[in-house]
Structures are given as structure tokens and as C-alpha cells.
Structure 1
Amino acid sequence: MADAAGLLGGAAIATPDFVLSLRERVGHELLWMPGVTALVLDRERTSVLAVRRADDGAWTPVTGIIDPGEEPARAAVREVAEEAGIRCTALRLIDVRTLPPITYRNGDQAQYLDVCFLCEADGESEPYPADGENTEARWFPIEAAPPMNARFTEQLRWALEDRSEARFRR
């Protein structure tokens, strides 16, 4: 991976090499990107992992881009390890949705397919901002989760319902 300021709005965020290569060819044109959201709960289901993004300061679950050929559940587990230093297991699919197109500050355009997984932490280790994409990483009591956007709040609510089926738009 390389550091690039463009992909995620100007912050020094690790951008996958395949995205940098694509950008060399297509410039700022819209890229369709597969991504993951990992909602990580502790084993007791009393705490949720959240990270504070370095680019905009927002609290979010761990998110990331799926590498070419990578299984989405493995991408979620990898992103949690890379961003928060936590080992986890992906338990089930929660939600699949297409996010609205976005234009980053440098003019790059992207649209993401978000594949959201419920994950369970494998141990009692403390999270930390492991790769520079976040300034904080920590556990929050579920009833006192940090303020998050509507999508993440909805996905967390669905994760806590413990239903077996995933949600998707028809």
C-alpha cells in the first residue's frame, strides 16, 4: 500500500496500490469500489469497537476497501487488524448497500458497494490506531456508542438484533 492524499479526501490515508494504478489511467473519473464495514462487538455483546477517522474526526466502525480477489469477510477481518490492532472473526453478513457517489477534495470520484459484517473480537486486547488512518480506536458500551452517521447507527442496530438474514435494497 502507498500513502495518497486523494482517495479519502486529503488525509494521509493508506490507499491500495491497485487504486493508485487505476487513478493513473482514469484520472478523477468515477471508480466503482467494493468496500467493507466491520461492526466489531466484544464476546459479551456489551461493547462496540469504534475508530475516530484522521481525515474528518468522525467516529465510525472500521471500514475499508476490498482488495482484488479478496473475500469480503476476510477483508473485514484484515481491516480491523490493520486499523485497530484487534483480532476478530466475521460472524455474519448484516447489510449490503450501494452508497451515493462522492467526490473527494482532489476531484477523485468514487462510489462504494458496502458489505457490512458483524464481527466478534477474539480476545481482550485493547484497540489502538494501528495504521495512521485513525486518531483513536476504543471500545464503547453499546448503550453509549459514539455519535455516528445514520448508516452506521442503523447497521449497529441491525447487528444487535441478532437476526440471521442480511438486509439489502430491492
Structure 2
Amino acid sequence: MSVPDFVLELRRHVGTAPLWLAGATAVIRDPHGARVLLVRRADNGWWTPVTGIVDPGEHPAEAAVREAREEAAVRIRVDRVASIGVSRMVTYDNGDRAQYLDHTFACTYLDGDPHPADGENTDVRWFEVDDLPEMRPHMLARLEAGLADEERARIELTTESAESGTGHCG
């Protein structure tokens, strides 16, 4: 997976110590809302929405647009914040540790020929909303939030911090 230059620079100073990073997830629907665009990750083979790390000074919604272009070669419109959540601590094969504040956005596909554009994914494909591939629970929760016709963003609480599960913001 491609590691942003600013993370590589941080790693020079902190080694494998945990980093707190902002992430963006783009749940991309076709204009009719019947299909969703997913990518198959090169590092683990799982299907996910488009995801990525927010660059310093970048708005998370702009990161979602950028990641959709870089990873799947598509242009999208961000429609709304769908959920905000915190990932579990991730330990990578090289020992680096990170935890992510994820901003999930409901997005609409505008144009482009979807394909793996940057080597981070091995496949990009449209799936019917009612016929999704197997996905990890945290990614499925992001996808469900992005596909829901809700006016308010979901607050995805981790098991450690949740008393009542998922809440709503706004």
C-alpha cells in the first residue's frame, strides 16, 4: 500500500509508535442508487469502499474525492457525511502502528471508467446494493451508513467506548 510522504517523515522521528491519523471513506453510488463501487485491496484481498489517509491541511471530503480519482479513476460528488468513527489500533507487518479517525461520506459517481488506477487495488467493480461481496464488519458498517437515506451522520462507537451502540450526530 502506498504510504503518504508525511507519514514516512513522521515515522523517521517516532519509529513504530502509534500514530493518530485522519482517514476518509467514499461510499460511491451510481446516479440511480442501485449499485455501489467497491475496490479489492491489494494488501489483503478484501472488498471495501474507496478509503485513504487525509493529507495535512486537506479537508476529509476533498480526500474522498482525491482517493476516488487516484484509486478507481472516477470522479465523484460528495453528498453528505455518513458516519464518523475510530478504527481499532492497526499493526502493520513492519511493526508500524496507527489508529484512524474515519470520515465516511455518501458520494455519487459522476464519470470515469472504473479500474485499479494506482496499484493499491487489484479490482474495481460495481455491485448491486442488495448483492454485496463478503466484507469485514467495520467496512460493512461504513458502507451501510453511506447507503442509508439518513439526514444525520452516524457516530460509530467502538465496543470499548459504546454504552448504547451507534448514535447520531446533529
Report the TM-score when normalising by structure 1: 0.89
5 Å matches for 1:52-63?
52-63=40-51
Equivalence for 1:6: none
Q: CA RMSD in A?
A: 1.1
For structure 1, which segment, 75-84 or 151-160, has the greater mean C-alpha deviation from structure 2 after superposition? 151-160
Query: Which runs of 5 or more structure 1 residues have no equivalent in the other structure?
Result: 1-12
Equivalence for 1:165: 152
Equivalence for 1:34: 22
d(CA) in 1 for partners of 2:145 and 2:9? 36
Equivalence for 2:52: 64
Q: 2:28·2:107 contact (CA, 8 Å) conserved in 1? A: yes
**Matching residue within 126, 140, 147 for 1:139:** 126
3-state SS of 2:145 partner = helix
d(CA) in 2 for partners of 1:112 and 1:81? 21
Equivalence for 2:75: 87
3-state SS of 1:55 partner = coil
**Matching residue within 72, 88, 92 for 1:104:** 92
d(CA) in 2 for partners of 1:157 and 1:30? 29
Equivalence for 1:51: 39
Query: Which runs of 5 or more structure 2 residues have no equivalent in the other structure?
Result: 158-166
3-state SS of 2:2 partner = strand
Equivalence for 1:18: 6
Q: 1:37·1:64 contact (CA, 8 Å) conserved in 2? A: yes
Q: CA deviation at 1:152?
A: 2.0
Aligned residue-pair number = 157
3-state SS of 1:23 partner = helix
d(CA) in 2 for partners of 1:14 and 1:156? 23
Q: CA deviation at 1:166?
A: 0.3
**Matching residue within 99, 102, 114 for 1:114:** 102
For structure 1, which segment, 128-137 or 95-104, has the greater mean C-alpha deviation from structure 2 after superposition? 95-104
- AA matched with 1:44: H
d(CA) in 2 for partners of 1:23 and 1:17? 10
Report the TM-score when normalising by structure 2: 0.89
Q: 1:126·1:138 contact (CA, 8 Å) conserved in 2? A: no
